[in-house]
Chains A and B, each alone.
Chain A
Amino acid sequence: DAKTTQPNSMESNEEEPVHLPCNHSTISGTDYIHWYRQLPSQGPEYVIHGLTSNVNNRMASLAIAEDRKSSTLILHRATLRDAAVYYCILRGDSGSARQLTFGSGTQLTVLP
């Protein structure tokens, strides 16, 4: 399985932007980059995904490097409710590659 590398933890101040990095140097051409987050005492929650182009949705933006070996999840204005573990996951588009392989993720702390 292609692997991702994320910092164990990050801190941000409330109402400031947060940039969560992810390295995936062994990404294959058919792997999509997915982000999920897990709030305390809840199941993981889908955030965003992309293949090559940058993506935006109501929750976040995803910036993907031109060589696709890294990506950054951007929360434009962090709130206390964004405190969670954020997982960067590579996901294939067929067969068993569609399963999600979670790493340890980045624990985001948002300071008031």
Chain B
Amino acid sequence: ETGVTQSPTHLIKTRGQQVTLRCSSQSGHNTVSWYQQALGQGPQFIFQYYREEENGRGNFPPRFSGLQFPNYSSELNVNALELDDSALYLCASSLEVPNSPLHFGNGTRLTVT
């Protein structure tokens, strides 16, 4: 069973640039969600995708967007990067059933300078 994999593991970008982060879901999982974790804090929910459509969103601006592909892999796109976007971005996959555990990847560490 292949777990959740994210790429790249580390990334450095300049303020105002755009970034795309990628996630491969665990085999058999049809739901993917993204979380942002600032240093020293718990992860914060960004959004969730099911059947290639966004079906839940946290308190993040529209410059945070995503995609889910037919093979259930996913991308997180962030436009017009700000310094406060520096964080660990976590992808999690699960089944679309109540209380299905989330399986997290080890994240992408984004630094915005």
A interface residues (Cβ-Cβ under 8 A, vs B): 32, 34, 36, 41-46, 49, 85, 87, 91, 93-96, 98-105
Contact = CB atoms under 8 A, between A and B. Distances in A.
A43 B104 CA distance: 5
B45 A101 contact: yes
A26 B95 CA distance: 27
A46 B44 contact: no
A100 B103 contact: no
B69 to A, nearest CB: 21
Contact of A44 (B43, B98, B99): B43
Main DSSP-derived SS at the B contact region: loop
A94 B98 contact: yes
Contacts, number: 54
- Is the interface on chain B under 10, 10 to 19, 20 to 34, or 35 or more residues? 20 to 34
A34 B102 CA distance: 11
B41 interface: yes
A99 B48 contact: yes
Interface string B29-53: 0000101000001111100100000
A62 to B, nearest CB: 13
A46 B99 contact: no
A87 B42 contact: yes
13 contacts: A34-B101, A43-B90, A43-B104, A45-B104, A49-B99, A93-B98, A94-B98, A98-B98, A99-B33, A100-B43, A102-B35, A102-B44, A103-B42
B41 A104 contact: yes
A41 B106 contact: yes
